[in-house]
Amino acid sequence: MNELSITSEFVTLGQLLKMTDAIDSGGMAKWFLHEHDVFVNGEIERRRGKKIKDGDLVNIPGVGRYKIIAAGESNDR
């Protein structure tokens, strides 16, 4: 599982897809979520505006699994 640091309180799922290179542009998020299963904390998520926060686990099959870490947080949580 990869750790992905964010510098704000949250990022949207669409932003996260772009950060992980699952998509090339934010405009592709709606299409990607319609065509692929993406799991947030073990549940399928289809909303590109879903807020992803510190501690969330995101699984993008074929791309990777990510634990979200807020900047400045300890890695041994």
CA distance 1 to 10: 19
> How do 10-12 and 57-60 pair as beta strands?
unpaired
CATH of domain 2-70: 3.10.290.10
77 residues of the chain, pLDDT tens digit each: 999 999 999 999 999 999 999 999 989 999 999 999 999 999 999 999 999 999 999 999 999 999 999 986 444 44
**Residue ranges per structural domain of the chain:** 2-70
pLDDT for the residue numbered 71: 81
> What is the value of pTM for the model shown?
0.86
> How do 51-53 and 57-60 pair as beta strands?
unpaired
Inter-residue contact 68 to 6 (CB < 8 Å): yes
pLDDT for the residue numbered 52: 97
